[in-house]
Structure 1
Amino acid sequence: MKLSGSLFQKALIDGDYSPRFFAYYYKQWTGYRMSYHQHDSTEIMYLISGGCVVDVMSGEGREDSFRLKRGELIILDANIPHRLIVEEGTSCRMLNVEFGFSEYGGVAPSVGRLARQEEVVAELLQNPFTSLVLPDPEDIYYVLKSLVLELDQRRTGEGSLIDLLFSELLLRLARLRREQWHASQQPAQIYVRRSIEFMHQNYDQAIQVKDIAAAVSLHPGYLHRIFKEHTSRTLTDYLTMLRMEKSKMLLGQSDIPIVEIADYVGISSRQYFHLLFKKYAHCTPVEYRNSIERHKWNYGEQSGTNISEDI
Structure 2
Amino acid sequence: MRIPDIEGGSGLERLGLFPAEWLEGDFQPRVHAYYFKEWNRFEMAYHRHDSTEIMYVISGVCRVELDGGPELSLKKGEFVILNANAGHRLIVDGKCRMLNVEFGLAERTGAVPSLRALASEDEPLQALLTLSEPYAMLRDPEDAYHTLRSLVLELDKNGMEGGTLSRLLLSQLLIRIGRLWTESARGDSAPMELYVRQSVDYLYQNYDRDIRVKDVAAAVSLHPGYLQRIFRAHTGRTLTEYLTDLRMEKAKMLLGQTGIPISDISDYVGVGSRQYFHALFKKHTGMTPVEFRRSADTHRWTPGV
Pairwise TM-score range, normalised by the shorter structure = 0.7 to 0.9
What is the distance in 2 between the residues matched to 1:153 and 1:205? 30
CA root-mean-square deviation: 2.7
1:152 Cα deviation (Å)?
5.0
Residues paired across the two proteins, number: 295
Query: 1:76 — aligned with what?
Result: 82
User: Greater share of helix residues, 1 or 2?
Assistant: 1
Pair 1:241 & 2:225 matched: no
Aligned partner of 1:26 in structure 2 is: 36
Task: Show the counterpart of 1:307.
Answer: none
Q: Which residue of 2 aligns with 1:144?
A: 148
CA distance in 1, matches of 2:299, 2:293: 10
CA deviations on 1:60-115 (whole Å, 9 max, x unpaired) are xx5x232322332211112222211222xx43322212223345555432333332
Classify 1:252/1:66 alpha carbon distance in 2 versus 1 (closer, same or farther; 3 Å). same
Task: Tell me: CA distance 1:2–1:152, structure 2 relative to 1, closer, same or farther (3 Å).
Answer: farther
Query: What is the distance in 1 between the residues matched to 2:235 and 2:162?
Result: 48
Tell me how far 1:123 sits from its aligned partner: 0.8
Matches within 5 A, 1:137-216: 137-151=141-155, 157=161, 160-182=164-186, 184-216=188-220
* TM-score, reference length from structure 1: 0.82
Instruction: Write the mapping of 1:259-298 to structure 2, written as runs, cut at 5 A.
Output: 259-296=263-300
**Are residues 27 and 261 of structure 1, via their aligned partners in 2, closer, same or farther at CA, if it must alter by over 3 Å?**
same
**2:73 is the counterpart of 1:67:** yes
Given that 1:3 and 1:102 are in contact with CA atoms closer than 8 Å, whether structure 2 keeps it comes out as: no
User: 1:50 touches 1:91 (CA, 8 Å); kept in 2?
Assistant: yes
Is residue 2:99 matched to residue 1:95?
A: yes
Stretches of structure 1 lacking an aligned partner (at least 5 in a row): 305-311
Distance 2:46 2:256 in 1: 62
Q: 1:8 matched to which residue of 2?
A: 18
Instruction: Give distance in 1, aligned partners of 2:215 and 2:251.
Output: 22
Structure 1 runs, 4 residues or longer, greater than 6 Å off: none
TM-score by length of 2: 0.84
**Unpaired runs of 5+ in structure 2?**
5-14
Is 2:16–2:134's contact at 8 Å kept on the other side of the alignment? Answer: no
Residues 273/183 of structure 1: CA separation in 2 closer, same or farther (3 Å cut): farther
Larger radius of gyration: 1
Q: In 1, are the aligned partners of 2:147 and 2:173 still within 8 Å (CA)?
A: yes
**Which residue does 2:57 correspond to in 1?**
47
